Amino acid sequence: MKTIDELLADGVSGKRVFVRADLNVPLADGTITDDGRIRAVLPTVKALADAGAKVIVASHLGRPKGAPDPAFSLLPAAERLGELLGAPVAFAQDTVGPAAHDAVDGLEPGQVAVIENLRFNPGETAKDDTERGEFADRLAALADVYVGDGFGAVHRKHASVYDLPARLPHYAGHLIATEVGVLKKLTEDVKRPYVVALGGAKVSDKLAVIDQLLGKADRLLIGGGMAYTFLKAKGYEVGISLLQEDQIPAVTEYMQRAEKQGVELVLPVDVLVAREFPDLKTKAPSQFTTVDADKIPADQEGLDIGPKTRELYASKLADAETVFWNGPMGVFEHPDYAEGTKAVAQALVDSDGFTVVGGGDSAAAVRTLGFDENAFGHISTGGGASLEYLEGKTLPGLAALED
């Protein structure tokens, strides 16, 4: 795929450049709680503006129902982008209507505008190719060139991600070029030992990537809510912990395959359990105990990996040359159950290998728990996109950028 470096070399002064970014930031009462995705697209936007382009930034935010919804407005993201750029950013209160055209027409070379949430238009996410294409045509009328830099959305067959690049000269932005380069390091000519740590709530979300990694990774460390389906498959009592009974046959098969293929599949040996889920709003202290993984009481729920498991996982990560981590080890949003996730993050920080934090909740946890982002090899902006790439799937947004 062509990159933004080639576009800049050809010259963009005065050209209208449409940047499909990922500004899908978390909001609390209209305030951004994590601006990581905005900062991630900054190099692309700044490079284009510095080169004299008229930059049109577009993104989705949340899951509105194909109509304007103030709760999902991109205005806070546009304001934060302006703060980070140190320059005013125009904001259009629609996507392809009069406000968008006025904002773009008002741009001088080197200036930036953000148009409203793309998902306010039903054409963005339409399953029908014609409806999606019509919306892409209207977006294309705003610009001369397309730059794809919203890595967190490249696994979606949406108008601004998949259809629009076909209508304009198209290039990959700095972020997408970096993300793809990192993912190739995880799939091609991998330095070993290669250790993958997987967490999060649902094992079903990770089955396909586990299937692929069983042939590539040397070790798989399993934590988070998904671990309890593995523990149940071993015949353990898991109490009222998160459990996907229907996935037990698949999990059992993967454990058997791992043993046959010489892949070390490591499960928690102890867990923190409680009778009630903690209050994540007040973060009030919780009553919990630590038990061995095969001794979870029937009336209690596992909420984090225990101290012995933290030490075990750290030791399994210590000699890794390549690490991919996706998904927290417990309910990290509450201080009582953050230590497992913190231990894995610290093990990556201490590692001399190439470490990748696979976006989503893992990236949020790194920032929430106060780690220096520069201490990791790479923090992805797209958890779902990263996983689908590792599963071997064709990502529509990347395919659209190929020539």
| Residue 133 annotated as catalytic | no
The active-site residue out of 37, 156, 157, 219 is 37
Alpha carbon distance 117, 154 (integer Å)? 17
Alpha carbon distance 155, 399 (integer Å)? 10
Strands (E), 275-370: 289-292, 301-305, 322-326, 354-357
Helices (H) and strands (E) in the chain, counts: 14, 17
Alpha carbon distance 341, 357 (integer Å)? 12
| Residue 360 annotated as catalytic | yes
Contact assessment for residue 165 and residue 172, using Cβ atoms and an 8 Å cutoff: no
| Residue 36 annotated as catalytic | no
| Closest C-alpha among 223, 168, 237 to residue 339 | 223
The active-site residue out of 46, 185, 202, 257 is 202
Contact assessment for residue 115 and residue 95, using Cβ atoms and an 8 Å cutoff: yes
The active-site residue out of 148, 199, 353, 360 is 360
Residue found by looking up tokens 């996983």 in the block: 387
Alpha carbon distance 116, 96 (integer Å)? 9
| Residue 202 annotated as catalytic | yes
Edge-to-edge strands, sheet with 219-222: 264-266, 219-222, 194-198, 322-326, 354-357, 378-379
394 secondary structure, DSSP code: P
Q: Cite the active site residues.
A: 37, 202, 360, 384
